[in-house]
Structure 1
Amino acid sequence: MELRQLRYFLAVAEELSFTRAAALLHVSQPPVSRQIMLLEAEIGTQLFERSKQYVRLTSAGQHFYDQARTLVAAANAAVVSTRRVAAGQVGKISVGLGGTAAHVFPDTLALFRRHHPEVELVLNPLNLAYHHAALLEGRIDVGLVVLPMDNDELETRKLIRMRLLAALPAGHGLATRRKLSLRDLASHDFIMVPWTKGRGFGRLTMQACRRAGFVPNVVQEAEPMESVLGMVAAGAGVAVVPESMEHLYGSKVAYRPIKEYYAAADIAIAWRKGDGSPILRAFLACCPGRSAPKRG
Protein backbone atom coordinates (compact mmCIF):
# COMPACT_ATOMS: atom_id res chain seq x y z
CA MET A 1 0.00 0.00 0.00
CA GLU A 2 1.41 3.34 -1.06
CA LEU A 3 0.78 6.82 0.31
CA ARG A 4 -0.15 7.86 -3.22
CA GLN A 5 -2.97 5.29 -3.25
CA LEU A 6 -4.32 6.67 0.01
CA ARG A 7 -4.32 10.20 -1.39
CA TYR A 8 -6.10 9.03 -4.57
CA PHE A 9 -8.65 7.17 -2.45
CA LEU A 10 -9.32 10.21 -0.25
CA ALA A 11 -9.80 12.45 -3.27
CA VAL A 12 -12.37 10.08 -4.80
CA ALA A 13 -14.10 9.57 -1.44
CA GLU A 14 -14.44 13.33 -0.92
CA GLU A 15 -15.43 14.22 -4.49
CA LEU A 16 -17.50 11.03 -5.09
CA SER A 17 -16.30 11.29 -8.65
CA PHE A 18 -13.29 9.75 -10.35
CA THR A 19 -13.27 12.57 -12.90
CA ARG A 20 -13.31 15.39 -10.36
CA ALA A 21 -10.78 13.57 -8.17
CA ALA A 22 -8.40 13.22 -11.13
CA ALA A 23 -8.72 16.93 -11.89
CA LEU A 24 -8.07 17.77 -8.23
CA LEU A 25 -4.97 15.56 -8.27
CA HIS A 26 -3.78 16.97 -11.61
CA VAL A 27 -3.62 13.53 -13.23
CA SER A 28 -5.70 11.74 -15.81
CA GLN A 29 -8.57 9.52 -14.70
CA PRO A 30 -7.20 6.06 -15.70
CA PRO A 31 -4.30 6.11 -13.15
CA VAL A 32 -6.76 7.05 -10.40
CA SER A 33 -9.11 4.20 -11.30
CA ARG A 34 -6.21 1.74 -11.52
CA GLN A 35 -4.76 2.70 -8.12
CA ILE A 36 -8.17 2.36 -6.46
CA MET A 37 -8.60 -1.09 -8.00
CA LEU A 38 -5.13 -2.13 -6.76
CA LEU A 39 -5.98 -0.79 -3.30
CA GLU A 40 -9.23 -2.74 -3.17
CA ALA A 41 -7.43 -5.89 -4.34
CA GLU A 42 -4.81 -5.50 -1.61
CA ILE A 43 -7.38 -4.91 1.12
CA GLY A 44 -9.62 -7.65 -0.23
CA THR A 45 -12.87 -5.75 -0.31
CA GLN A 46 -14.71 -3.18 -2.40
CA LEU A 47 -14.39 0.39 -1.18
CA PHE A 48 -16.73 2.10 -3.64
CA GLU A 49 -20.06 1.31 -5.22
CA ARG A 50 -19.84 2.39 -8.85
CA SER A 51 -22.48 3.01 -11.46
CA LYS A 52 -22.96 5.37 -14.39
CA GLN A 53 -25.06 7.60 -12.15
CA TYR A 54 -23.03 7.68 -8.90
CA VAL A 55 -19.95 6.75 -6.91
CA ARG A 56 -20.34 6.17 -3.19
CA LEU A 57 -18.47 4.57 -0.34
CA THR A 58 -19.30 1.11 0.91
CA SER A 59 -19.46 0.59 4.67
CA ALA A 60 -15.93 -0.80 4.50
CA GLY A 61 -14.94 2.18 2.38
CA GLN A 62 -16.32 4.61 4.98
CA HIS A 63 -14.32 2.88 7.72
CA PHE A 64 -11.18 2.92 5.56
CA TYR A 65 -11.77 6.61 4.79
CA ASP A 66 -11.56 7.49 8.49
CA GLN A 67 -8.35 5.47 8.88
CA ALA A 68 -6.79 6.80 5.69
CA ARG A 69 -7.37 10.42 6.74
CA THR A 70 -5.47 9.77 9.96
CA LEU A 71 -2.60 8.05 8.14
CA VAL A 72 -2.23 10.77 5.51
CA ALA A 73 -2.46 13.52 8.13
CA ALA A 74 0.27 11.77 10.17
CA ALA A 75 2.46 11.44 7.07
CA ASN A 76 1.99 15.12 6.22
CA ALA A 77 2.79 16.10 9.80
CA ALA A 78 5.94 13.94 9.72
CA VAL A 79 7.11 15.72 6.57
CA VAL A 80 6.45 19.16 8.06
CA SER A 81 8.14 18.36 11.37
CA THR A 82 11.14 16.82 9.61
CA ARG A 83 11.55 19.91 7.47
CA ARG A 84 11.38 22.07 10.59
CA VAL A 85 14.07 19.98 12.28
CA ALA A 86 16.24 20.26 9.16
CA ALA A 87 15.74 24.03 9.23
CA GLY A 88 16.75 24.25 12.91
CA GLN A 89 13.27 25.34 14.01
CA VAL A 90 12.71 22.65 16.67
CA GLY A 91 14.99 20.74 19.04
CA LYS A 92 17.44 21.74 21.77
CA ILE A 93 20.78 23.52 22.10
CA SER A 94 22.92 23.92 25.23
CA VAL A 95 24.80 27.21 25.66
CA GLY A 96 27.46 28.17 28.19
CA LEU A 97 26.19 31.31 29.91
CA GLY A 98 28.24 32.34 32.90
CA GLY A 99 30.62 35.19 33.63
CA THR A 100 31.64 37.01 30.45
CA ALA A 101 29.15 35.02 28.34
CA ALA A 102 26.33 36.62 30.32
CA HIS A 103 27.49 39.99 28.94
CA VAL A 104 28.21 38.80 25.38
CA PHE A 105 25.29 36.50 24.56
CA PRO A 106 22.07 38.31 25.62
CA ASP A 107 21.35 39.96 22.26
CA THR A 108 22.11 36.74 20.41
CA LEU A 109 19.86 34.72 22.72
CA ALA A 110 17.02 37.22 22.36
CA LEU A 111 17.29 37.15 18.55
CA PHE A 112 17.45 33.36 18.48
CA ARG A 113 14.40 33.03 20.76
CA ARG A 114 12.47 35.42 18.55
CA HIS A 115 13.19 33.50 15.35
CA HIS A 116 13.20 29.97 16.81
CA PRO A 117 10.64 30.00 19.64
CA GLU A 118 10.20 26.21 19.67
CA VAL A 119 13.88 25.39 20.16
CA GLU A 120 14.72 24.64 23.79
CA LEU A 121 17.62 26.81 24.96
CA VAL A 122 19.47 25.13 27.81
CA LEU A 123 21.58 27.79 29.56
CA ASN A 124 24.51 26.32 31.48
CA PRO A 125 25.96 28.74 34.09
CA LEU A 126 29.63 27.98 33.43
CA ASN A 127 32.38 30.55 33.83
CA LEU A 128 34.18 31.23 30.55
CA ALA A 129 37.31 29.41 31.75
CA TYR A 130 35.44 26.10 31.64
CA HIS A 131 33.59 26.42 28.32
CA HIS A 132 36.50 24.82 26.45
CA ALA A 133 36.38 21.59 28.48
CA ALA A 134 32.57 21.54 28.51
CA LEU A 135 32.51 21.72 24.70
CA LEU A 136 34.98 18.87 24.30
CA GLU A 137 33.03 16.75 26.79
CA GLY A 138 29.73 17.45 25.04
CA ARG A 139 28.14 19.16 28.05
CA ILE A 140 27.42 22.29 25.98
CA ASP A 141 27.01 22.84 22.24
CA VAL A 142 28.11 26.48 22.12
CA GLY A 143 30.41 28.45 24.38
CA LEU A 144 33.05 31.17 24.53
CA VAL A 145 36.84 30.86 24.43
CA VAL A 146 39.75 33.27 24.67
CA LEU A 147 41.86 33.37 21.52
CA PRO A 148 44.31 32.21 20.38
CA MET A 149 43.28 28.58 20.79
CA ASP A 150 45.35 25.60 19.68
CA ASN A 151 42.69 22.86 19.79
CA ASP A 152 41.79 21.36 16.42
CA GLU A 153 38.60 19.81 17.78
CA LEU A 154 36.82 23.16 18.03
CA GLU A 155 35.74 25.77 15.51
CA THR A 156 35.70 29.44 16.49
CA ARG A 157 34.40 32.78 15.33
CA LYS A 158 35.71 35.97 16.89
CA LEU A 159 32.97 38.04 18.50
CA ILE A 160 34.62 40.87 20.40
CA ARG A 161 37.94 42.29 21.59
CA MET A 162 37.66 43.09 25.27
CA ARG A 163 40.14 45.40 26.98
CA LEU A 164 41.56 44.47 30.39
CA LEU A 165 41.32 47.00 33.21
CA ALA A 166 43.20 47.40 36.46
CA ALA A 167 40.78 47.10 39.37
CA LEU A 168 41.94 48.91 42.52
CA PRO A 169 40.40 49.43 45.95
CA ALA A 170 38.85 52.89 46.22
CA GLY A 171 41.44 55.28 47.62
CA HIS A 172 44.37 53.19 46.35
CA GLY A 173 47.43 55.31 45.52
CA LEU A 174 47.39 54.28 41.84
CA ALA A 175 43.76 55.36 41.47
CA THR A 176 44.90 58.96 41.05
CA ARG A 177 46.28 58.10 37.61
CA ARG A 178 44.10 58.08 34.53
CA LYS A 179 45.90 55.10 32.93
CA LEU A 180 48.27 52.44 34.25
CA SER A 181 50.94 50.13 32.96
CA LEU A 182 50.89 46.51 34.07
CA ARG A 183 54.33 47.15 35.55
CA ASP A 184 52.74 49.68 37.91
CA LEU A 185 50.97 46.72 39.55
CA ALA A 186 54.06 44.54 39.91
CA SER A 187 54.70 45.28 43.60
CA HIS A 188 51.07 44.91 44.68
CA ASP A 189 49.16 41.87 45.94
CA PHE A 190 46.90 40.31 43.31
CA ILE A 191 43.46 38.76 43.57
CA MET A 192 42.86 36.46 40.59
CA VAL A 193 40.52 33.84 39.26
CA PRO A 194 42.29 30.44 39.23
CA TRP A 195 44.83 30.46 36.43
CA THR A 196 46.27 26.95 36.62
CA LYS A 197 42.95 25.42 35.60
CA GLY A 198 40.58 26.46 32.86
CA ARG A 199 41.31 28.70 29.89
CA GLY A 200 39.95 32.07 30.90
CA PHE A 201 41.04 35.44 32.24
CA GLY A 202 43.26 34.01 34.98
CA ARG A 203 45.64 32.44 32.50
CA LEU A 204 45.42 35.48 30.22
CA THR A 205 46.29 37.83 33.09
CA MET A 206 49.27 35.70 34.09
CA GLN A 207 50.54 35.70 30.50
CA ALA A 208 50.14 39.47 30.18
CA CYS A 209 51.99 40.13 33.45
CA ARG A 210 54.85 37.86 32.46
CA ARG A 211 55.06 39.65 29.13
CA ALA A 212 55.29 42.91 31.08
CA GLY A 213 58.29 41.48 32.97
CA PHE A 214 56.96 40.20 36.29
CA VAL A 215 55.05 37.37 37.93
CA PRO A 216 52.15 38.70 40.01
CA ASN A 217 52.08 38.00 43.73
CA VAL A 218 48.75 36.18 43.96
CA VAL A 219 47.55 36.30 47.56
CA GLN A 220 44.07 34.99 46.89
CA GLU A 221 42.25 33.10 44.15
CA ALA A 222 38.49 33.30 43.81
CA GLU A 223 35.74 32.71 41.30
CA PRO A 224 33.65 33.90 39.66
CA MET A 225 35.11 37.29 38.70
CA GLU A 226 32.46 39.03 40.77
CA SER A 227 34.04 37.46 43.89
CA VAL A 228 37.45 38.72 42.84
CA LEU A 229 36.07 42.24 42.63
CA GLY A 230 34.38 41.85 45.99
CA MET A 231 37.79 41.16 47.52
CA VAL A 232 39.27 44.15 45.70
CA ALA A 233 36.46 46.30 47.10
CA ALA A 234 37.37 45.00 50.57
CA GLY A 235 40.98 46.14 50.09
CA ALA A 236 42.56 42.67 49.81
CA GLY A 237 44.53 43.49 46.67
CA VAL A 238 44.38 44.57 43.04
CA ALA A 239 43.11 42.66 40.02
CA VAL A 240 43.07 42.68 36.24
CA VAL A 241 39.56 42.22 34.93
CA PRO A 242 37.68 42.43 31.61
CA GLU A 243 35.98 45.72 30.84
CA SER A 244 32.58 44.02 30.99
CA MET A 245 32.93 44.02 34.80
CA GLU A 246 33.49 47.77 35.11
CA HIS A 247 29.96 48.41 36.38
CA LEU A 248 30.41 46.32 39.54
CA TYR A 249 30.90 47.72 43.05
CA GLY A 250 30.44 51.35 42.06
CA SER A 251 32.53 53.70 44.15
CA LYS A 252 34.26 50.88 46.06
CA VAL A 253 36.46 49.85 43.11
CA ALA A 254 38.46 52.15 40.84
CA TYR A 255 38.88 50.88 37.28
CA ARG A 256 41.75 52.18 35.18
CA PRO A 257 42.72 51.43 31.55
CA ILE A 258 45.96 49.51 31.01
CA LYS A 259 48.47 50.97 28.53
CA GLU A 260 49.83 47.73 27.04
CA TYR A 261 48.09 46.86 23.76
CA TYR A 262 48.27 43.15 24.59
CA ALA A 263 46.24 43.66 27.77
CA ALA A 264 43.13 42.57 25.92
CA ALA A 265 41.14 39.44 25.24
CA ASP A 266 39.83 38.30 21.87
CA ILE A 267 36.61 36.49 22.75
CA ALA A 268 35.26 33.95 20.27
CA ILE A 269 32.20 31.78 20.08
CA ALA A 270 33.18 28.11 19.84
CA TRP A 271 31.57 24.82 18.88
CA ARG A 272 32.72 21.28 18.12
CA LYS A 273 34.25 20.75 14.69
CA GLY A 274 32.00 18.70 12.42
CA ASP A 275 28.82 19.50 14.33
CA GLY A 276 26.36 19.82 11.46
CA SER A 277 23.30 20.44 13.62
CA PRO A 278 20.78 22.72 11.86
CA ILE A 279 20.00 24.28 15.24
CA LEU A 280 23.68 25.13 15.74
CA ARG A 281 23.78 26.73 12.28
CA ALA A 282 20.68 28.74 13.14
CA PHE A 283 22.26 29.88 16.44
CA LEU A 284 25.51 30.90 14.75
CA ALA A 285 23.51 32.88 12.20
CA CYS A 286 22.21 35.00 15.09
CA CYS A 287 25.76 35.76 16.31
CA PRO A 288 27.88 38.67 15.08
CA GLY A 289 31.55 38.26 14.27
CA ARG A 290 33.72 36.53 11.72
CA SER A 291 35.79 33.37 11.48
CA ALA A 292 38.90 33.50 13.62
CA PRO A 293 42.15 31.55 13.39
CA LYS A 294 43.02 29.14 16.22
CA ARG A 295 46.66 30.18 16.32
CA GLY A 296 48.30 33.55 16.38
Structure 2
Amino acid sequence: MEFRQLKYFIAVAEALHFGRAAESLHLSQPALSKQIQALEDSLEIQLFDRTKHWVKLTAAGQKFLEVARSVLQNVEEGIQITRQIADGRAGTVRVGLTEASLFCLAPSILRTCRKRYPQVDLLLSSGGTETHVEALRTHQIDIGFVYLPIREPTLVVEPLYEESYIAALPESHPLAKKQPISIHDLANEPLIFYPRSLAPVLYANFIKSCEQAGFVPTIVQEAELAQTRLGLAAAGVGITFVLADVKTLSAKGVVYQPFADNFLTLKLALAWRCTESSSVVHEIIKMIQTTVPELSVK
Protein backbone atom coordinates (compact mmCIF):
# COMPACT_ATOMS: atom_id res chain seq x y z
CA MET A 1 0.00 0.00 0.00
CA GLU A 2 1.28 3.43 -0.96
CA PHE A 3 0.51 6.72 0.75
CA ARG A 4 -0.80 8.26 -2.48
CA GLN A 5 -3.29 5.40 -2.79
CA LEU A 6 -4.96 6.59 0.44
CA LYS A 7 -5.51 10.00 -1.15
CA TYR A 8 -6.91 8.38 -4.27
CA PHE A 9 -9.22 6.17 -2.22
CA ILE A 10 -10.55 9.11 -0.19
CA ALA A 11 -11.22 11.11 -3.38
CA VAL A 12 -13.25 8.27 -4.91
CA ALA A 13 -15.04 7.55 -1.63
CA GLU A 14 -16.12 11.18 -1.30
CA ALA A 15 -17.11 11.64 -4.95
CA LEU A 16 -18.52 8.11 -5.45
CA HIS A 17 -17.59 8.64 -9.09
CA PHE A 18 -14.30 7.59 -10.69
CA GLY A 19 -14.48 10.20 -13.45
CA ARG A 20 -14.99 13.18 -11.13
CA ALA A 21 -12.40 11.86 -8.65
CA ALA A 22 -9.86 11.38 -11.44
CA GLU A 23 -10.46 14.93 -12.65
CA SER A 24 -9.95 16.36 -9.16
CA LEU A 25 -6.69 14.39 -8.83
CA HIS A 26 -5.49 15.35 -12.33
CA LEU A 27 -5.31 11.68 -13.31
CA SER A 28 -6.85 9.68 -16.09
CA GLN A 29 -9.76 7.51 -15.06
CA PRO A 30 -8.02 4.25 -16.08
CA ALA A 31 -4.94 5.20 -14.02
CA LEU A 32 -7.10 5.94 -10.97
CA SER A 33 -9.03 2.68 -11.37
CA LYS A 34 -5.73 0.80 -11.58
CA GLN A 35 -4.47 2.40 -8.33
CA ILE A 36 -7.72 1.61 -6.46
CA GLN A 37 -7.57 -1.99 -7.69
CA ALA A 38 -3.93 -2.21 -6.52
CA LEU A 39 -4.97 -0.90 -3.10
CA GLU A 40 -7.74 -3.46 -2.80
CA ASP A 41 -5.38 -6.22 -3.87
CA SER A 42 -2.75 -5.21 -1.29
CA LEU A 43 -5.38 -5.11 1.47
CA GLU A 44 -7.17 -8.20 0.15
CA ILE A 45 -10.40 -6.28 0.78
CA GLN A 46 -13.09 -5.05 -1.61
CA LEU A 47 -13.57 -1.37 -0.84
CA PHE A 48 -16.15 -0.45 -3.52
CA ASP A 49 -19.15 -2.03 -5.14
CA ARG A 50 -19.24 -0.66 -8.66
CA THR A 51 -21.06 -1.07 -11.93
CA LYS A 52 -21.06 0.97 -15.14
CA HIS A 53 -23.69 3.27 -13.64
CA TRP A 54 -22.85 3.67 -9.92
CA VAL A 55 -20.16 3.35 -7.23
CA LYS A 56 -20.68 2.82 -3.51
CA LEU A 57 -18.55 1.87 -0.53
CA THR A 58 -18.72 -1.60 0.95
CA ALA A 59 -19.07 -1.91 4.72
CA ALA A 60 -15.33 -2.57 4.87
CA GLY A 61 -14.76 0.45 2.62
CA GLN A 62 -16.76 2.71 4.95
CA LYS A 63 -14.56 1.66 7.89
CA PHE A 64 -11.39 2.01 5.86
CA LEU A 65 -12.45 5.56 4.92
CA GLU A 66 -12.35 6.49 8.61
CA VAL A 67 -8.92 4.87 8.94
CA ALA A 68 -7.57 6.52 5.79
CA ARG A 69 -8.74 9.99 6.87
CA SER A 70 -7.18 9.52 10.32
CA VAL A 71 -3.89 8.32 8.85
CA LEU A 72 -3.79 11.21 6.39
CA GLN A 73 -4.53 13.75 9.14
CA ASN A 74 -1.84 12.27 11.42
CA VAL A 75 0.72 12.34 8.63
CA GLU A 76 -0.10 15.94 7.73
CA GLU A 77 0.10 17.00 11.39
CA GLY A 78 3.38 15.12 11.73
CA ILE A 79 4.80 16.89 8.69
CA GLN A 80 3.70 20.26 10.09
CA ILE A 81 5.30 19.58 13.48
CA THR A 82 8.48 18.31 11.78
CA ARG A 83 8.69 21.53 9.79
CA GLN A 84 8.15 23.57 12.96
CA ILE A 85 10.97 21.67 14.69
CA ALA A 86 13.25 22.25 11.71
CA ASP A 87 12.37 25.96 11.80
CA GLY A 88 12.93 26.15 15.57
CA ARG A 89 9.23 26.66 16.35
CA ALA A 90 8.52 23.34 18.10
CA GLY A 91 10.27 20.84 20.35
CA THR A 92 11.56 20.48 23.90
CA VAL A 93 14.31 22.62 25.42
CA ARG A 94 15.83 21.90 28.85
CA VAL A 95 16.95 25.02 30.74
CA GLY A 96 19.05 25.06 33.92
CA LEU A 97 18.32 28.06 36.14
CA THR A 98 20.24 29.55 39.04
CA GLU A 99 18.55 30.25 42.35
CA ALA A 100 17.95 33.92 41.55
CA SER A 101 16.96 33.45 37.90
CA LEU A 102 14.40 30.87 39.00
CA PHE A 103 12.53 33.67 40.78
CA CYS A 104 13.24 36.74 38.68
CA LEU A 105 13.60 35.47 35.09
CA ALA A 106 11.71 32.17 34.86
CA PRO A 107 8.19 33.71 34.92
CA SER A 108 8.89 36.16 32.08
CA ILE A 109 10.79 33.52 30.07
CA LEU A 110 7.88 31.09 30.35
CA ARG A 111 5.31 33.74 29.42
CA THR A 112 7.31 34.86 26.40
CA CYS A 113 7.90 31.29 25.26
CA ARG A 114 4.21 30.41 25.46
CA LYS A 115 3.37 33.53 23.44
CA ARG A 116 6.04 33.23 20.74
CA TYR A 117 6.53 29.47 20.60
CA PRO A 118 3.35 27.67 21.74
CA GLN A 119 4.69 24.37 20.36
CA VAL A 120 7.89 24.53 22.45
CA ASP A 121 8.03 22.82 25.84
CA LEU A 122 10.51 24.34 28.32
CA LEU A 123 11.71 21.92 30.99
CA LEU A 124 13.19 23.96 33.85
CA SER A 125 15.56 22.79 36.56
CA SER A 126 17.63 24.63 39.16
CA GLY A 127 21.19 24.27 40.33
CA GLY A 128 24.58 25.89 40.68
CA THR A 129 27.07 26.83 37.99
CA GLU A 130 29.18 23.68 38.25
CA THR A 131 26.04 21.55 38.12
CA HIS A 132 24.88 23.27 34.93
CA VAL A 133 28.30 23.10 33.27
CA GLU A 134 28.43 19.35 33.87
CA ALA A 135 24.81 18.95 32.72
CA LEU A 136 25.67 20.78 29.49
CA ARG A 137 28.72 18.56 28.95
CA THR A 138 26.63 15.41 29.41
CA HIS A 139 23.65 16.68 27.37
CA GLN A 140 21.28 16.66 30.35
CA ILE A 141 20.29 20.28 29.67
CA ASP A 142 20.46 22.43 26.53
CA ILE A 143 20.87 25.92 28.02
CA GLY A 144 22.23 26.93 31.40
CA PHE A 145 22.27 30.11 33.47
CA VAL A 146 25.71 30.27 35.06
CA TYR A 147 27.95 32.67 36.96
CA LEU A 148 31.29 33.92 35.66
CA PRO A 149 34.12 33.21 35.46
CA ILE A 150 33.86 29.95 33.50
CA ARG A 151 36.68 28.30 31.62
CA GLU A 152 35.05 25.59 29.57
CA PRO A 153 36.11 25.42 25.90
CA THR A 154 33.14 23.25 24.89
CA LEU A 155 30.64 25.98 25.79
CA VAL A 156 29.55 29.31 24.36
CA VAL A 157 29.15 31.73 27.28
CA GLU A 158 27.17 34.95 26.78
CA PRO A 159 27.39 37.47 29.69
CA LEU A 160 24.05 38.93 30.71
CA TYR A 161 24.22 41.26 33.71
CA GLU A 162 25.67 41.70 37.19
CA GLU A 163 23.73 40.76 40.32
CA SER A 164 24.37 42.24 43.76
CA TYR A 165 23.99 40.54 47.13
CA ILE A 166 22.09 42.05 50.01
CA ALA A 167 22.01 41.08 53.67
CA ALA A 168 19.12 39.22 55.27
CA LEU A 169 18.96 39.80 59.03
CA PRO A 170 16.68 38.74 61.87
CA GLU A 171 14.15 41.58 62.27
CA SER A 172 15.26 42.01 65.90
CA HIS A 173 18.92 42.52 64.93
CA PRO A 174 20.40 45.99 65.64
CA LEU A 175 21.56 46.30 62.01
CA ALA A 176 17.99 45.77 60.80
CA LYS A 177 17.36 49.47 61.31
CA LYS A 178 20.59 50.65 59.71
CA GLN A 179 20.47 51.29 55.98
CA PRO A 180 22.68 50.73 54.15
CA ILE A 181 25.09 48.55 56.10
CA SER A 182 28.81 48.11 55.49
CA ILE A 183 31.02 45.08 55.19
CA HIS A 184 32.71 46.28 58.40
CA ASP A 185 29.39 45.77 60.21
CA LEU A 186 29.78 42.02 59.65
CA ALA A 187 32.87 41.75 61.86
CA ASN A 188 32.15 39.51 64.88
CA GLU A 189 28.69 38.69 63.55
CA PRO A 190 27.61 35.04 63.09
CA LEU A 191 27.14 34.50 59.36
CA ILE A 192 25.27 31.95 57.24
CA PHE A 193 26.81 31.38 53.81
CA TYR A 194 26.87 29.12 50.78
CA PRO A 195 28.89 25.89 51.01
CA ARG A 196 32.39 26.37 49.60
CA SER A 197 31.88 23.37 47.28
CA LEU A 198 28.78 24.93 45.71
CA ALA A 199 30.26 28.34 44.89
CA PRO A 200 34.05 28.23 45.31
CA VAL A 201 34.72 31.54 43.52
CA LEU A 202 32.01 33.41 45.44
CA TYR A 203 33.21 31.86 48.72
CA ALA A 204 36.82 32.85 48.05
CA ASN A 205 35.85 36.40 47.05
CA PHE A 206 33.77 36.78 50.20
CA ILE A 207 36.59 35.64 52.48
CA LYS A 208 39.05 37.91 50.66
CA SER A 209 36.74 40.95 50.94
CA CYS A 210 36.30 40.41 54.66
CA GLU A 211 40.06 39.99 55.22
CA GLN A 212 40.72 43.19 53.25
CA ALA A 213 38.24 44.89 55.59
CA GLY A 214 40.34 43.72 58.54
CA PHE A 215 38.53 40.67 59.91
CA VAL A 216 38.01 36.97 59.36
CA PRO A 217 34.28 36.18 58.87
CA THR A 218 32.58 33.93 61.42
CA ILE A 219 30.60 31.46 59.29
CA VAL A 220 28.51 29.45 61.76
CA GLN A 221 26.48 27.51 59.21
CA GLU A 222 26.39 26.78 55.47
CA ALA A 223 23.24 26.16 53.43
CA GLU A 224 22.69 25.83 49.69
CA LEU A 225 19.10 27.03 49.35
CA ALA A 226 18.04 30.64 49.93
CA GLN A 227 14.89 29.46 51.71
CA THR A 228 17.03 27.52 54.19
CA ARG A 229 19.39 30.42 54.82
CA LEU A 230 16.46 32.80 55.30
CA GLY A 231 14.83 30.39 57.75
CA LEU A 232 18.04 30.20 59.75
CA ALA A 233 18.30 34.00 59.76
CA ALA A 234 14.69 34.34 60.90
CA ALA A 235 15.49 31.92 63.75
CA GLY A 236 18.28 34.23 64.89
CA VAL A 237 21.15 31.96 63.90
CA GLY A 238 22.94 34.77 62.07
CA ILE A 239 23.09 37.11 59.10
CA THR A 240 22.89 35.61 55.63
CA PHE A 241 23.15 36.86 52.04
CA VAL A 242 20.84 36.58 49.05
CA LEU A 243 20.91 38.06 45.59
CA ALA A 244 18.83 41.23 45.36
CA ASP A 245 16.35 39.56 43.02
CA VAL A 246 15.58 36.91 45.65
CA LYS A 247 14.23 39.46 48.12
CA THR A 248 10.85 38.97 46.46
CA LEU A 249 10.68 35.81 48.57
CA SER A 250 8.39 36.34 51.49
CA ALA A 251 10.40 35.55 54.64
CA LYS A 252 8.67 36.17 57.95
CA GLY A 253 11.00 37.52 60.62
CA VAL A 254 13.67 38.68 58.15
CA VAL A 255 14.70 42.18 57.10
CA TYR A 256 16.64 42.85 53.88
CA GLN A 257 19.37 45.49 53.86
CA PRO A 258 21.60 46.65 50.96
CA PHE A 259 25.35 47.08 51.33
CA ALA A 260 26.82 50.55 50.98
CA ASP A 261 29.98 49.23 49.34
CA ASN A 262 28.28 46.65 47.08
CA PHE A 263 31.15 44.32 47.91
CA LEU A 264 29.58 41.04 46.85
CA THR A 265 28.42 40.62 43.24
CA LEU A 266 28.08 37.91 40.60
CA LYS A 267 27.99 38.16 36.81
CA LEU A 268 25.17 36.11 35.32
CA ALA A 269 25.70 34.49 31.92
CA LEU A 270 23.97 32.17 29.50
CA ALA A 271 25.79 29.03 28.34
CA TRP A 272 25.19 26.41 25.67
CA ARG A 273 27.25 23.83 23.78
CA CYS A 274 29.50 25.03 20.95
CA THR A 275 28.28 22.05 18.93
CA GLU A 276 24.59 22.76 19.50
CA SER A 277 22.77 22.24 16.19
CA SER A 278 19.12 22.30 17.27
CA SER A 279 17.19 25.14 15.64
CA VAL A 280 14.70 25.27 18.50
CA VAL A 281 17.47 25.58 21.11
CA HIS A 282 18.98 28.53 19.21
CA GLU A 283 15.54 30.14 18.92
CA ILE A 284 15.05 29.89 22.69
CA ILE A 285 18.55 31.31 23.28
CA LYS A 286 17.59 34.35 21.18
CA MET A 287 14.30 34.63 23.04
CA ILE A 288 16.03 34.56 26.44
CA GLN A 289 18.54 37.19 25.35
CA THR A 290 15.73 39.55 24.37
CA THR A 291 13.72 38.74 27.52
CA VAL A 292 16.55 39.44 29.97
CA PRO A 293 16.21 43.12 30.96
CA GLU A 294 19.74 44.18 30.00
CA LEU A 295 22.86 42.89 28.29
CA SER A 296 25.27 45.35 29.81
CA VAL A 297 28.20 43.14 30.82
CA LYS A 298 30.37 42.29 27.81
Cα shift at 1:217: 3.6
Aligned AA for 1:33? P
- Residue in 2 that maps onto 1:256: 258
Does the Cα contact within 8 Å between 1:158 and 1:266 map onto a contact in 2?
yes
Cα shift at 1:210: 2.0
Per-residue deviation, residues 91-142 of structure 1 (Å, max 9, x unmatched) = 6554446732331202222343456667655444546664333444444444
- Residue in 2 that maps onto 1:40: 37
Does the Cα contact within 8 Å between 1:157 and 1:290 map onto a contact in 2?
no
Q: Distance in 1 between matches of 2:226 and 2:260?
A: 18
Does the Cα contact within 8 Å between 1:206 and 1:216 map onto a contact in 2?
no
Does the Cα contact within 8 Å between 2:180 and 2:257 map onto a contact in 1?
no
- Residue in 1 that maps onto 2:237: 236
RMSD of aligned alpha carbons: 4.1
Matches within 5 A, 1:144-223: 144-170=145-171, 172=173, 174-175=175-176, 177-182=178-183, 184-185=185-186, 188-195=189-196, 197-199=197-199, 203-210=201-208, 213=212, 216-223=217-224
Cα shift at 1:182: 3.6
Paired residue secondary structure (1:178): coil
Runs of 4+ aligned structure 1 residues displaced above 6 Å come to 290-293
- List alignment gaps of at least 5 residues for structure 1: none
Cα shift at 1:198: 2.9
Aligned AA for 1:102? L
Paired residue secondary structure (1:145): strand
Q: Distance in 1 between matches of 2:256 and 2:2?
A: 74
Aligned AA for 1:77? N
Aligned AA for 2:99? G
Task: Report which stretch shifted further, 124-133 or 242-251.
Answer: 124-133
Q: Distance in 1 between matches of 2:209 and 2:150?
A: 18
Q: Distance in 2 between matches of 1:112 and 1:225?
A: 27
- Residue in 1 that maps onto 2:99: 99
Paired residue secondary structure (2:132): helix
- Residue in 1 that maps onto 2:246: 245
Q: Distance in 2 between matches of 1:115 and 1:220?
A: 44
Q: Distance in 2 between matches of 1:208 and 1:238?
A: 14
Q: Distance in 1 between matches of 2:22 and 2:227?
A: 71
Aligned CA distance change for structure 1 residues 268 and 115 (closer, same or farther; 3 Å): same
Q: Distance in 2 between matches of 1:252 and 1:223?
A: 18
The total of aligned residue pairs comes to 284
Cα shift at 1:242: 0.6
Does the Cα contact within 8 Å between 2:128 and 2:198 map onto a contact in 1?
no
TM-score by length of 1: 0.72
Aligned counterpart in structure 2 of residue 289 of structure 1, from 277, 288, 292: 292
- Residue in 1 that maps onto 2:9: 9
Aligned AA for 2:21? A
- Residue in 1 that maps onto 2:55: 56
Q: Distance in 2 between matches of 1:228 and 1:255?
A: 15
Q: Distance in 1 between matches of 2:38 and 2:220?
A: 87
Does the Cα contact within 8 Å between 1:164 and 1:258 map onto a contact in 2?
no
Q: Distance in 1 between matches of 2:145 and 2:129?
A: 6
